[in-house]
Amino acid sequence: MGQKLNFQIVLPGVALSLAIASVALVLSDTSLLKLHVFSPLTLAILIGIGLGNTIHPKIAQVCASGVTFSRQWLLQLGIILYGFRLTFSDIANVGLQGVLIDALVLTSTFALAWIAGHKLLRLNSHTVVLIGAGSAICGAAAVMATEPIVRGRAEHVSVAVSTVLIFGTLAMFIYPALYTLNQTWHWLPASHQAFGLFTGSTIHEVAQVVATGETLGDTIADTAVITKMVRVMMLAPFLMLLSVYLANRQPTKTECANQDKPLKQDKKKTKVTIPWFAVIFILVAGLNSLALLPSDWVRQANELDTLLLTMAMAALGLCTHLSALKQAGVKPILLGGLLFAWLIVGGTVINYCVMTLLA
């Protein structure tokens, strides 16, 4: 934060974020919301947005520092602890097919976001990168992990999170129908393994993958979740590569004409901003792979991770103003919809080609 942390200043905002996160965690555990697969992160940002546009403005001066602390630093700690959900052996479980499919889906989706977002829709680079990362990797968690790299404003992050939530939720209803159609038309091999790979490599959020997989059966669910976890592991190298790229690129004419500040604007500033939390994330996943820690410790770390990420989402919601979302217009939704269509159609082509070549 550049200066010594003053706990008295950040405490009110952190406490508010914690209160919202606690409510979201309790509500997400109710039978009704479990049925509709509302994750704590989703509920936290919704509650945060509600309060951020009603009550929070009246106390913003007191809570601002703590809310910012929760949105930035607690997020990074949450991403680090996310490594305890993964092991390097997850890669071996899906094999070379899963790794190659995930890598191709990630790179093609983000490349499409970059090209379409800039050339077709003329969106600012912050929104393009955040929507692209969320669609390509792991939904809201990827959006929030990418935010410290691009340094976007709260409304940029909220718009990006909204798109991945909308289309990721839609996927939970579409994919069971796609599975039924595939049993007849065989766009992909008719095996559960094949559709599990497709599901895990193309749906936005981990929770959405789990929900869809459970609808389609245990075999598909297991393969889908492992494939998704491998895709999540690609978040760290993606962030590092993105950081290097943004540190050395020149702003485009479109960015310079845009009222938002270009991602790279200072030609004299060539130092690469290394996302150390992403590096530590990989180290934590490696530590978890060694199985040196007691299972209770890992379970508690995962519970703490969920709480921290939920608090970060709550803080993000508090920073979001509906007027800013309205000003964003329909273009971010169009970009999210285009990427969603690519994940289904392009994802099918990628899965089919890789499965055929590596059969």
Residue 324 lies in a domain: yes
Residue 321 lies in a domain: yes
Residue 1 lies in a domain: no
Q: Using N-to-C axis directions, what is the helix angle for 218-233 and 192-202, rounded to 10°?
A: 40
Contact 40, 306 (CB under 8 A): yes
Residue 306 lies in a domain: yes
Residue 2 lies in a domain: no
Domain extent at residue 344: 7-357
Residue 127 lies in a domain: yes
Contact 132, 110 (CB under 8 A): yes
Mean pLDDT, 10 residues at a time, the chain of 359 residues: 69 95 90 69 85 86 90 87 85 87 97 96 94 93 88 84 84 92 91 94 88 84 89 90 82 55 52 68 90 94 92 85 71 95 97 93
Q: The pTM is what? A: 0.77
Contact 168, 209 (CB under 8 A): no
Q: What is the pLDDT of residue 268?
A: 46
Amino acid at 355: M
Q: What is the pLDDT of residue 254?
A: 53
Residue 199 lies in a domain: yes
Q: What is the pLDDT of residue 89?
A: 82
Q: What six digits make up the tokens of 157?
A: 């992050």
Residue 161 lies in a domain: yes
**Structural domains of the chain, count:** 1
Query: Distance between CA 278 and CA 184 in Å, rounded?
Result: 42
